[in-house]
Amino acid sequence: MPRLMTDAGALARARRRNRLETAATLGVLVLLAGGVGQLAAGVEGLVVGAAFAASTLLFSAVPGEVLFRQGFGAVPLSPFQAPGLYAMVAELSRRAGLPAAPRLWLLPQRPLQAVAGGTTSDPGIGVTRSLVEALTPRELAAVLAHEVSHIRHGDLFVLRLATVAATATRAMAQAGLIVALVVGLGAIGAHPLLPALLILSPLAADLLTLSLSRSREFLADAEAAELTGDPEALASALARIERIQGDDFERLAARGPFWLRWFRTHPTVAQRIAALATIARPLDQPFGWEPAWHTAPAPPRRRLIVRNPWAR
């Protein structure tokens, strides 16, 4: 079987589709939050909801060090402890055009896991020892490229914005229900279906937020394939993780009806591997095809060279 590399055209189409989905989902979330605020308390509710969302967005950012130390119980990894790991992240960050490489953290959890967190100015990437030791260096580089891609495309802010909009929707819906129960629908001139709308709107906001999260995972996978020049490495890493611990930590939709997938933060492993296959082409393509990162007159970017992450 020939080695695979990223298909420039397919990658560009995946990016456009994902960005359109992101913009549409965020737009619907904002409109839903505003509509619930207006239904619950009129123009005043809309203003209060907007102020609540703005203040929450402003003060909800958690710096990387605080998040990883207090939220995950992680400890920082130094370049002396994991020089190979730092070399991977430094090269990936350079290829992604990040101003500085994210700080690395060792997570205490047992599952095979990597996570990007923090703010755009203070990002970090956490990994578990089990992940580092279970994957080959090539696969590990692909997983780290996925997390670097989240930072590169501002997913830390995008998902925080979606969460704030969903939170505002829930808060305004609860306030509206309290008013309707205490005062009565007739007294406030509300439609009889208002309670049902207020009850269902938080669920709709949560489902939209989860959908956005899954969409950004697909984009991060595609960008990771471009950063490493090796789409099959990420597919191999996902397959290996699935063999070791199942269909990721959520386990939803591994069994049961299809609609359970709506409650996942990540697509299933099968979906992610299938999406990677759509942006890959064999390395031995006929003349005229160029790798996704080729921009004349610069030579095409080589595959990322990786080594033991703990080696000095």
- Please identify every residue annotated as catalytic: 147
Cβ within 8 Å of residue 74, ≥6 positions away: 68, 105, 106, 107, 108, 126
**Amino acid at position 145, single letter:** A
Cβ within 8 Å of residue 150, ≥6 positions away: 116, 156, 216, 220
Rounded distance, CA 173 to CA 167, Å?
10
127, β-bridge pairs: 106, 114
The 10 Å Cβ neighbour count of residue 234 is 26
Element (H, E) at 219: helix 194-228
Order across the sheet with 114-118: list the strands.
75-76, 103-107, 123-128, 114-118
Cα 215 from chain centroid (whole Å) = 8
The 10 Å Cβ neighbour count of residue 91 is 20
* CB 169, CB 33: distance < 8 Å: yes
Rounded distance, CA 102 to CA 104, Å?
6
Rounded distance, CA 254 to CA 72, Å?
26
Task: Round to the nearest angstrom and report the end-to-end CA distance of the chain.
Answer: 33
